[in-house]
Structure 1
Amino acid sequence: MLNTIVLIRTDSFDKALVALADLIRYGGMEIRGKPRIIPPALSDWAFEKIVGEKPKKKYRAHVVAQIDLPPAKAIGRLREIHPPAHIVVIPPGSNVHRELLRMWGTFEVLKGFHRPRKSVKGVENEE
């Protein structure tokens, strides 16, 4: 099964990191792999294809991450948690999803992202 992709558009990479942590902590989502930074033009293209209109606001930080939930469930949880970023859910099977996966290996890994540990307290897992 393909993972749903979330596109995070915000003013700084710090806010993107907070939004990712919120998806895990409050949205109950699991981030698969490492979130990646994408070019603003690609982010705008993906936004337009999924939302159906041109972005009204320009953002400086554009991040994609793969999550473990189906699109409808992810959208429902996003409505409940209000992360500090604009987040677009990109469903598997869409042209945007296929294009992002095709280019995934070329995107820079977002530095500073650490998923909450599910291990013994005081013992950190090495990645």
Structure 2
Amino acid sequence: MLNTIVLIRTDNFDKALTALADLVRYGGMKIRGTPRIIPPALSDWAFEQIVGEKPKKKVKAHVVAQIDLPASKAIGRIRDIHPPAHIIVIPVGSPVHKELLRLWGTFKELKGFHPPKEIKRLENIENEEDLE
């Protein structure tokens, strides 16, 4: 089974690591395998293909990761969590997805990512809201 890919574009790799942890911790997603660093030109191309316009902001960190959710669910959850990075969801079967998978083995692994323990934080937040 193929996984949806997320492209994370941000100022530095610390923010990229935080964004990945947020996807797991608050978005309830599982990161499959190790996130990878991709070249800026490929990141800009992927952004343009998915978003339909050139990126307005130059960023220094370009990371891709495979997640366990369909694109539509991932987009909704990312909207809810506001991670410290621009995250683009790349649907399975799209030309960008196919190209990223083709090149996957050539990308350098992102060091320092350890998925946080899955936290029941969402349930706690919902329970607190019930109390109000």
Note if 1:106 corresponds to 2:71. Answer: no
Q: Which residue of 1 aligns with 2:24?
A: 24
Q: Which amino acid aligns with 1:48?
A: E
The CA deviation string for residues 79-118 of structure 1, in whole angstroms up to 9 with x for no partner, is 0000000000000000000000000000000000001247
SS of residue in 1 equivalent to 2:7: strand
Note if 1:47 corresponds to 2:47. Answer: yes
Q: Do the aligned partners of 2:6 and 2:65 also contact (CA within 8 Å) in 1?
A: yes
The separation in 2 between residues aligned to 1:108 and 1:57, in whole angstroms, is: 23
The CA deviation string for residues 14-41 of structure 1, in whole angstroms up to 9 with x for no partner, is 0000000000000000000000000000
Q: Which residue of 2 aligns with 1:78?
A: 78
Q: Which residue of 2 aligns with 1:33?
A: 33
The separation in 1 between residues aligned to 2:93 and 2:2, in whole angstroms, is: 8
Q: Which residue of 1 aligns with 2:96?
A: 96
Q: Which residue of 2 aligns with 1:59?
A: 59
Gaps of 5+ in 1: 119-127
TM-score, normalised on structure 2?
0.88
Gaps of 5+ in 2: 119-132
- The change in CA–CA distance for 1:76 and 1:48 in structure 2 (over 3 A counts) is same
The separation in 1 between residues aligned to 2:104 and 2:4, in whole angstroms, is: 13
Please identify which structure carries the higher helix content: 2
Q: Which amino acid aligns with 1:38?
A: I
The separation in 2 between residues aligned to 1:38 and 1:102, in whole angstroms, is: 13
Structure 1 stretches of at least 4 aligned residues deviating more than 3 Å after TM superposition: none
Q: Do the aligned partners of 2:44 and 2:54 also contact (CA within 8 Å) in 1?
A: yes
SS of residue in 2 equivalent to 1:57: coil
The separation in 2 between residues aligned to 1:12 and 1:77, in whole angstroms, is: 23
Q: Which amino acid aligns with 2:49?
A: K
How many matched pairs?
Answer: 118
CA RMSD in angstroms comes to 0.8
